[in-house]
Amino acid sequence: MANTGNLDAAIEQLLNVEKQMRLAGDVAGTRKAATDILQLCFDARAWKTLNDQIVVLSKRRGQLKQAVTAMVQQAMQYIDETPDIETRIELIKTLNSVSAGKIYVEIERARLIKKLAKIKEEQGLIAEAADLMQEIAVETFGAMAKTEKIAFILEQVRLCLDRQDYVRAQILSRKISPRVFDADLSKEKKKPKEGDNVVEEAPADIPSLLELKQIYYELMIRYYSHNNDYLEICRCYKAIYEIPSVKEDPAKWIPILRKICWYLVLAPYDPMQSSLLNSTLEDKNISEIPNFKLLLKQLVTMEVIQWTTLWDTYKSDFENEKASGKSLGEKAAEDLRQRIIEHNILVVSKYYARITLKRLAELLCLSIQVCD
């Protein structure tokens, strides 16, 4: 009890100092008095008092922006030191309410929301976590580092995909232009001009631009997989395949090149698919997986493909690919058969002006009823 009395007396004393400094317009003095009060509460592990003092100090008349910023930044360091999850949530919510609507602590608020959303997700409240993250529009934050912005938006997209909200996931993903991943960050670090916003350094736990590129395309693969958009999935894998860390390691690029081949075969025929098919065949790495090279070669050759022979040859590869992850959906085997039939019809139309249904059925390995 005596300790509590000592703490209250010390806080009261510092509050008077803070008032004098604030009224005198002394920025450094006000900031120091405010952060000292928080430090006292933290050292005494008085979490309720800490929350109360953050609110009291932020609401004082004519409170200086610099003091509020310093308080929020200091209190954020205490979040990981909290004894239990309830105290942690309470502290985050207090800081969140203090920073709401204040443009000078918008980055801190975004980081607080991200922490709170992570806790909600760990508690299994995916929808609540997704709603929290969507409150923040980081693309408007001028002072936030580019990588941190991208990481935040990707987190928003991931949570939307986890709750199967594909429409919102697509809207959010469009806030990121794929061209941003090809930018050279070293060239961008030019000296800011007078009047420019000073861009903050990204925190240490934020992935690099190339790591974010891989995360972005993996999320887009999840999005396109829900409606089996094979060509777009293929283009996403192609982008991952081009990342230097992937291209230098055969253990990484061989499985991805296999996926590129499967999705090329599954994608309906169109100019983009045809162009990707030819560029993949020209890639020297395709020689490392000869059976897939043969598969693609059959598709570019104007000859009828026997479905039964092809399926017998590639069935085990197809099943392995399906078992190794959720990449090939339930419809994939049926779609593969449809693509081979489409290819065969294209071949037949090139060689025949007129053909009997019986002969067409033979060439397509189908019954006359299906051809009809």
267-308, pLDDT tens digit by residue?
A: 888 888 888 878 887 878 778 878 888 878 878 877 777 777
Q: Name the nearest CA neighbour of 349 among 327, 328, 364.
A: 364
Provide the terminal-to-terminal Cα distance of the chain, rounded to the nearest Å.
91
The 10s digit of each residue's pLDDT in 110-149 is 888 888 888 888 878 888 888 877 777 877 777 778 888 8
Calpha distance 345→364 (Å, rounded): 8
| Mean of pLDDT values over 346-351 | 78
Residues in the chain: 372
| Residue 53 to residue 290: CA distance in whole angstroms | 69
Quickly state the pLDDT bin for 194 (edges 50, 70, 90): very low
Residue with the two structure tokens 């894998």: 237
State the DSSP H helix or E strand holding residue 47, giving kind and residue range, or none if neither. Answer: helix 47-59
Residue 79, pLDDT above cutoff 50: yes
The pLDDT confidence band at residue 193, using thresholds 50, 70 and 90, is: very low
* Cα-based torsion angle of the residue sequence 351, 355, 361, 367 in order, rounded to the nearest 10 degrees: 160
**Model's pTM, two decimal places?**
0.81
Helices 106-122 and 65-78: angle between axes, nearest 10 degrees? 30
pLDDT-based confidence at residue 199 (cuts at 50, 70, 90): low
> Lowest-confidence range among 94-98, 173-177, 332-336?
332-336
Answer for the pair 58, 98: CB distance below 8 angstroms, yes or no. Answer: yes
pLDDT score for 283 = 78
SS3 164: coil
Rounded-to-integer distance, Cα 70 and Cα 361, Å: 77
Work out the pLDDT band at 192, boundaries 50, 70, 90. very low
CA distance 30 to 186: 38
pLDDT score recorded for residue 329: 60
Secondary structure class of 74 (helix, strand, coil) = helix
Tell whether the model's pLDDT for residue 195 goes beyond 60. Answer: no
Q: Residue for token digits 């007129």?
A: 354
What's the whole-number mean pLDDT along residues 364-372?
64
How far does Cα 53 stand from its chain's mean position? 36
**Residue type for position 105:** V
CA-CA distance, 22 to 28, in Å (whole number)?
A: 10
pLDDT of residue 369: 63
**pLDDT (tens digit per residue) in 208-244:** 888 888 888 989 988 888 888 888 888 898 888 888 8
Question: Does the CA dihedral 105-111-114-120 come out positive or negative?
Answer: negative
What does the mean pLDDT of the chain come to? 79
What residues contact residue 27 under an 8 Å CB cut-off, 6+ apart? 64, 66, 67
**pLDDT higher than threshold 70 for residue 187:** no
| Encoded tokens for 319 | 């099943």
Confidence of residue 53 (pLDDT cuts 50, 70, 90): confident
Query: Domain limits of the chain?
Result: 1-100, 228-370
Classify 174 as helix, strand or coil: coil
List the single range of 148-152, 200-204, 214-218, 260-264 with lowest mean pLDDT: 200-204
Query: Does 1 score more than 50 pLDDT?
Result: no
Task: Determine which of 62-76, 178-192, 344-358 has the lowest per-residue pLDDT on average.
Answer: 178-192
Residue 270: count other Cβ atoms within 10 Å of its Cβ: 9
